[in-house]
Amino acid sequence: MKGYPADPDPYPNYRWLRANAPACPMGGDTAEESTCFVTSYELVRAGLLDSRLSSDPRNAAGADPSAPAERSVLDSDPPDHGRMRRVVNPAFSLTAVDALRPTIARICREAIAGLAGHGRADLMAEYGLVVPVAVIHEILGVPPEQRVDPVLFMDRFWWAAAAREPDPEAAEFIDAYVTRILEYKRAHPGDDVTTALLRALEDGGLRDESELRGMVTAVLGAGHTTTVPLVSAGIVRMLQHPAQRAKAMADPARWADVVEELLRHDSVIQVSTNRYAVEDLVIGDVPVPRGGTVLMSFAAANRDPARFDDPDVFDMDRPRGGHLAFGHGTHFCLGAHLGRAEAEIALRLLFETLGDVRLTVPVEDVVWSFGPMLRGPAAIPVTFTPVGGARQGARA
C-alpha cells in the first residue's frame, strides 16, 4: 500500500482566496490552459447552476469531441446525465436508504465487534474505512468472498482517480476489478444496482458497455471514497467536542445535526470535478474562454462568512441547510441520502458501544490526507476500555 500524502490545512488558503481573489486563474501558459478556481459561496453556487459549464471532458480546450470515453453521471451533461441517473435513482432514494438502515447497522456492529475487545484501534482503518466499503458492495450485490481488501481498494482507487498524478497500474487494477464484478453479476443477478445497470444496458437505458463500466466505477468509487473520510472526520470531531457528542448521545435524533454540520465544516469533497466553459464567459472578474476549466471549491464555499456565522467553528446547533457539500443543481450528489444515513448510524453505534474512546494524540496532531479533491483523517489512533461482546446499541 502506497498510502496517501499528508494534506496541510487548506482553510487558511481558502480564506485568503475568498477575501482577495474569489475567482482566481491558476497555472497554464494560455487562458485556455489555465483553471479558474472559485471559492466564494455566491460564485460557487451560481457556477453549479450555470448551464454554460459542462461536466463532459470532450468540451475541454483541445479535446476531440468525437473521442470515445468511459462515461458516467459524473462526467456527462443533460440529457445523457439524466438518462444514466434514472437507472440508479431508485436504489439511492430516501425510501431505499431507509430500507438499508438495518443492513448498515449490521455492518457497523460487525466492524465494532471486531475491534471492541482490543482496547485500542485505528478507527480510520478499522472502522471508518471498513463500513462504507462494505455498504457499497452490498448495494452493488457483491458478496464478501468476491471483494478485494478494503484497504487495498481504497488505496488503488485513490491513486487511480484522485491523486494529482494518477497511477496507470492503479487504474488497471480498478478496471480489472470492475470486470470481475460485472462477470460475477452476469452469472449471479439479483436485486442490486449492478444487476439494474446490466438490465439497463439490455433495455437501452445505457447505450453501451463503456457507459455500463463507467457507471459501476462511479457508484463503486463515489459510494465509499466520500463516505470513508466523512465517517472518519465525524469520529475526530466528536472526540474533539465531547459536549456536542453528549448532546447526540442523549438524543439520538441529534446525530442528524452532527452529520449536517460535519458536511459543512469538513467538506470531504473539497472541490468539484472539472467543468468546461462551452462559450466565453466571466466568473467574478475572471474571463474564462470557451474550453477553459473551472474548479469550484465546496470546502471554501461552506466556510464563507458571508453565508455562515463563525464558519470555522464546529457547531451542531447551527441551523441546518445551505451547505454545498453535496453540490447543487443537476449534479447534486446521487448518494446524499446514503451518505447521511451511513454517517449517522456509524457514529451513533460506535460511541454507544465504546463509551470512553479517546485519542492517543492531541487532536491537532491527527494527520489529514487524501487531497487534492478529497480530505479526511489518515489515521485515528484511539484507546478505550475493552468491551467483551460489543453491545448491540439502539436500533438503527
Would you state the pLDDT for residue 152?
A: 83
**Is the predicted pLDDT of residue 320 greater than 50, yes or no?**
yes
Q: Tell me, what's the pLDDT at 7?
A: 65
Q: Which CATH class is domain 11-29+67-264+320-383?
A: mainly alpha
Tell me phi and psi for residue 115, to 5 degrees: -120, -15
Average pLDDT, integer, range 97-105: 96
Q: What percent of the chain has pLDDT over 90?
A: 74
Span of 163-167, 211-215, 353-357 with lowest mean pLDDT: 163-167
- Percent of the chain residues past pLDDT 70, beyond the cut: 92
- Contact status, residue 195 vs residue 141, Cβ threshold 8 Å: yes
Q: What is the pLDDT of residue 164?
A: 61
Q: How confident is the model at residue 223 (pLDDT cuts 50, 70, 90)?
A: confident
Q: How confident is the model at residue 2 (pLDDT cuts 50, 70, 90)?
A: very low
- Average pLDDT over the chain, rounded to whole? 90
Average pLDDT over residues 367-382: 87
Give the model's confidence band at 27: pLDDT under 50 very low, under 70 low, under 90 confident, else very high. confident
- The three-point CA angle 82-83-86 to 5° equals 80
Residue 380 confidence class, pLDDT cut points 50, 70, 90: very high
For 145-154, what is each residue's pLDDT tens digit?
Answer: 999 888 888 8
- Spans of all domains in the chain: 11-29+67-264+320-383
Residue 48 Rama label (left phi>0; alpha psi -120 to 50; beta): alpha
Check whether 169 has a pLDDT greater than 50: yes
Confidence (pLDDT) at 1: 37
For the entire predicted model, the pTM comes to 0.92
- The average pLDDT across 334-338 equals 93
Grid cell, residue 91, equals: 436504489
What is the average pLDDT across 365-379? Answer: 86
Residue 307, number of CB atoms within 10 A of its CB: 18
pLDDT at 43: 98
Q: Say how far residue 277 (Cα) sits from the centre of its chain.
A: 25
Strands 35-38 and 23-26: antiparallel
**Exposed/middle/buried for residue 242 (C-beta within 10 Å: 0-12, 13-18, 19+):** exposed
CA angle 31, 302, 6 (to 5 degrees): 75
pLDDT of 391 higher than 50: no
What is the C-alpha to C-alpha distance for residues 210 and 201, in angstroms, rounded to an integer?
10
